[in-house]
Amino acid sequence: MFDIDLWREIFQSINKNRTRSILSGFTIAFAILLFTILFGIANGLENTFIELFGTDAKNSIVIFPGRTTKAHKGLQSGRRIRFKNEDYNYILEEFGDNVEYITSKVNRNVEASFKGEKNSYQVRAVHPEHMYIENNVVEKGRYINNRDLQNRTKVAVIGNAIKEDLFIREEAVGKYINLNGIPYKVVGVFSDDEGDNEENVIYTPITTAQRVYGNNDYVDFIHLTYNPKLNYDQAIAFGNSLTRKLKNKFDVANDDQRAIRVRNFAEGTRNVSQMMFVLNLIVLFVGSGTLIAGIMGISNIMVFIVKERTKEIGVRKALGASPRSIVSIILLESILITSLAGYVGLLIGATVLKIFGPGLKDYFITNPGVNSGVVIGATIILIISGALAGYLPANKASKIKPIVALRDE
């Protein structure tokens, strides 16, 4: 394989027949170009979906109470369902193994002020684990902790955006922020890479909110993440059984879709990954179709080349060329043309993606491109393709009888 003289022979032959070699490489270059662009676009679509989901935990399940729409067990429809702390405990008791993080939530809009600055924001009263569910990053100070829950302390963790609006150049941690007239001590500032929307939020302990907003133990909704060890199907099954159990607990008809709603991200994630699978399949299908056309093209032209070189091959055999050396020449020539052409296609494809990629954001395509894995894969595919394309002509060449090749004058 790495016989330098053999390569010299091959380069000489390709060089002498440049036009022919370029022509035969054209289809392969085109196939790889198409493949690269399709693949890049599929990649871009996937990137868009990933971005849409944000950096929130992708294994989220959110449970909202609502109103019943069906009479059930002697209870009339239109009944309001409310979660309490016991429901949070119930979920942990029943499904503790399947739960990674869990938080109850009470959401309120408040008028917040510090010194002269004021604005309205959302307060989310949560459990400490909320930090992991929402992927909040504490920039300064700390997050809500268990002591806050126990003591129902009036503490707040504010988003970076709020800090900048209300505290401007002042240090926020340790100061008191006024929420609807009640002073809360700011114990932390957080950031969220989903941007300003998610940073215009104030977190307080859930227990504090329950006391301040009615002295009860009501919960607006419950947000949890399922154990990441669960696969999509298991996660969906978990969501379903959670829904059923809760409906049962609240005497809600099983087919009542409004009373208790469970939003399981696993379903969406599974849909996206299924869609990506199908998309990749299509890309693979189209790509390999073109590739096969390219291989057949090269093979055809190589057969033609062998025919054209019949005489030369006959002479070589008369001079003592072994069948193997003839096969090597044709096969390696085919592999070389295929690989070179393929890389040209890959290069053009990658360049096209690089130039036009940023403009495709409006079409749900983010950062289309090829990675090194694709390049390595393409190399292997090209070498195999070249060998496939060269096989038939090489075989033909090795079967050429010198006597037949040397006749016909």
Q: Which residues bind another protein (CB under 8 A)?
A: 4-5, 9, 12-13, 16-17, 311-312, 314-325, 398, 401-403, 406, 409
Nearest CB to another protein, comparing residues 117 and 312: 312
> In angstroms, what is the minimal distance from the CB of 397 to another protein?
12
- Least distance to another protein, CB of residue 24, Å: 17
Q: How far is the CB of 319 from another protein (least distance, A)?
A: 4
Instruction: Give the Cα separation of 400 and 307 in Å (integer).
Output: 9
Closer CB to another protein, 9 or 194, in the complex: 9
| Nearest approach, Cβ of residue 28 and another protein (Å) | 24
- Give the separation between CA 290 and CA 27, rounded to whole angstroms: 8
17, 19, 29 from 297: Cα distances, Å: 17, 15, 11
Rounded to whole angstroms, the Cα distance separating 149 from 58 reads 26
> Shortest distance, CB of residue 322 to another protein, whole angstroms?
5
C-alpha torsion sign, points 255, 258, 261, 265: positive
Cα(78)–Cα(253) distance, rounded to whole angstroms? 12
Q: Which is nearer to another protein, 319 or 355 (CB)?
A: 319
End-to-end Cα spacing for the chain: 35
- Closer residue to another protein, CB minimum distance, 315 or 352: 315
Q: Which is nearer to another protein, 52 or 403 (CB)?
A: 403
Least distance in angstroms from the C-beta of 340 to another protein: 19
Which position has the token pair 């395509």? Answer: 365
Q: Quick one: 320 or 359, whose CB is closer to another protein?
A: 320
Nearest residue (CB) to another protein, 206 versus 306:
306
Q: Whose Cβ is closer to another protein: residue 223's or residue 317's?
A: 317
The pair of structure tokens assigned to 118 is 């004021």
Q: How far is the CB of 391 from another protein (least distance, A)?
A: 18
Nearer to another protein, 13 or 68 (CB): 13
CB of 335 to another protein, least distance (A): 20
* Minimum distance from residue 331 beta carbon to another protein (Å): 17
